[in-house]
Structure 1
Amino acid sequence: MLLEEMTMAEFEEGLSTCRTAYIPFGSVEEHGRHLPLSTDTIEAYEVGKRAAEKVPLFIAPPIHYGSCRSTSRHPGTVSISTTTLKALLKDIVRSLHLHGIVNFIVLTGHAGGSHKMALQDAGEEILLELPDINVAVVTEYDLAKEAGAHLVETPGDAHAGEIETSRILHSHPHLVKGTSPEEYPTFPKGILVRDKRSFWPGGVWGDPARATAEKGRLLETLVAEKIVELVKTLESRRW
């Protein structure tokens, strides 16, 4: 059930069978020279749609912005603060809760460390504020890497590489503009550098050339199955 396409009456009717919402977080972030800035958002949203085909699930409109530190100097990246990110999640949960939603799956397509931690912190805080809710915070990339380990050929593949290029080749092939060179950046340990692009010029972490649409289809299916399992687990008890 896609919230953005539902009427008031359809939403109210949906509440009779479903009290679980899936909230996809993405980013506006560089993904090499070949993938769209909305890659993280697309992945998170598409997985939710596939999961909703298997179990009753309200799919909230995606949040297109995230906290992007490592790519902040790359052209096209638009980053928000972790404070804003936390506030967004908590406000969305509060509002959906007023309508009777009690289970929340927060899935982020952006895997930046500070971004993930901010969402987890917000989840912990709202869990204490609203004692009748359940919350799960998961990272789409981590699920894809784990579930699709047998499909991925690139050791250490991470950003805009084999996994993400495969995903977009499957769901939005018209947005893939060729490929980018294989790249594995190295940042100085413990040093906070201002111009991170100088250590990561191409914005790729992995090998996009190994991507295929079929891998993307299989990865999307595997991650959606993980979300279905999570929905059932979250709804099974008070956590």
Structure 2
Amino acid sequence: MIIEEMTMPEFVRGLEKTRTVLVPFGATEEHGPHLPLNTDTLHAVEVGRKLAEKRAIFIAPPVPYGVCRSTSQHPGTLSISTQTLRALTLDIVSALYRQGLRNVILLTGHAGGTHTSTLIDAGEALLERFCDLKIAVLTEFMLAAKEGRGLIETVDDSHAGEIETSRILNSHPQLVKGEAEREYPSFPVGILVRDKRRFWPGGVWGDPTLASAEKGRLLEDLVVQCLDRFVTRLEEWQE
């Protein structure tokens, strides 16, 4: 059940089937010279839609902005602050709660550490705010990397590499523009730098040359299956 496409009566009928909602979080962020800026958002939205085909679950409208520190100077990246992301999360989940939803999954297609930590921080605050709320924070890329470890050939593949390029080749092939070379960032350990592009010029972390649409299809199926199992676990969770 895609909330933004539903009518009021459809929403009411949906609440008779489930009180669970998935909120896709993404980013508007560079993904090398070959992938679209909304790659992270596309990942989260696509698996949410596929999950809604398998079971009764609400899929909220996506949040297409995230906290993007290491790519903040690359062309096209539109990063927001942790304060903004936290406030958005608190407001969105509170609104969903007021509408009767009680089981909430924050699924982020953007795997940035600061971004994910902010979602977790907001989730902890929401647990204190609503005593009957169940909430989870999942990183969609981490699910893909874990579930698809037998498919991925690249060691330490990450941003705009084999996994993400395969995913977009499968779901939105028309948005893949050309190719990109294997690359890994070279940030100094522990040192915060101003000129981030100096240490990561191409914006790729991994090897997109090993990507394929078939790998992307298999990865997406694995992520959806994993999410399906996770939703059941959350709905049955007792403390």
Relative to the length of structure 1, the TM-score reads: 0.99
Deviation string 1:46-65 (CA, Å, 9 cap, x unpaired) is 01111111111100011000
Contact in 2 for aligned 1:21/1:58 (Cα 8 Å): yes
Matched residues in 2 for 1:217 and 1:49: separation? 14
Amino acid at match of 1:141: F
Q: C-alpha displacement at 1:233, in angstroms?
A: 0.5
Instruction: Give the stretch that moved more between structures: 178-187 or 67-76.
Output: 178-187
Matched residues in 2 for 1:189 and 1:209: separation? 27
- Gaps of at least 5 residues in structure 1 are none
Matched residues in 2 for 1:67 and 1:238: separation? 32
Q: Which residue of 1 aligns with 2:9?
A: 9
Matched residues in 2 for 1:191 and 1:184: separation? 17
List aligned pairs for 1:103-142, cutoff 5 A: 103-142=103-142
The alignment partner of 1:89 has SS state of helix
Task: Confirm whether residue 165 of structure 1 aligns to residue 165 of structure 2.
Answer: yes
The alignment partner of 1:53 has SS state of helix
Q: C-alpha displacement at 1:31, in angstroms?
A: 0.1
Matched residues in 1 for 2:118 and 2:36: separation? 24
Q: Which residue of 2 aligns with 1:186?
A: 186
Amino acid at match of 2:93: V
Q: Which residue of 1 aligns with 2:224?
A: 224
Q: C-alpha displacement at 1:186, in angstroms?
A: 1.4
Matched residues in 2 for 1:110 and 1:176: separation? 18
- Gaps of at least 5 residues in structure 2 are none
Deviation string 1:68-119 (CA, Å, 9 cap, x unpaired) is 0000000000000011101111111100111110000001000111000000
Q: Which residue of 2 aligns with 1:51?
A: 51
Amino acid at match of 1:74: H
Q: C-alpha displacement at 1:238, in angstroms?
A: 3.4
The alignment partner of 2:54 has SS state of coil
Contact in 2 for aligned 1:15/1:100 (Cα 8 Å): yes
Deviation string 1:140-174 (CA, Å, 9 cap, x unpaired) is 01000000000000001000000000000000000
Amino acid at match of 2:147: A
Contact in 2 for aligned 1:134/1:238 (Cα 8 Å): no
Q: C-alpha displacement at 1:178, in angstroms?
A: 1.3
Contact in 2 for aligned 1:27/1:110 (Cα 8 Å): yes
List aligned pairs for 1:33-52, cutoff 5 A: 33-52=33-52
Q: C-alpha displacement at 1:237, in angstroms?
A: 3.0
Matched residues in 2 for 1:68 and 1:190: separation? 18
Matched residues in 1 for 2:221 and 2:48: separation? 11
Q: Which residue of 2 aligns with 1:235?
A: 235
The alignment partner of 1:138 has SS state of strand
Matched residues in 2 for 1:133 and 1:91: separation? 14
The alignment partner of 1:202 has SS state of coil
List aligned pairs for 1:147-166, cutoff 5 A: 147-166=147-166
Give the root-mean-square deviation of aligned CA atoms: 0.7
Matched residues in 2 for 1:213 and 1:232: separation? 29
Q: How many aligned residue pairs are there?
A: 239
Matched residues in 1 for 2:110 and 2:179: separation? 20
Task: Confirm whether residue 87 of structure 1 aligns to residue 87 of structure 2.
Answer: yes
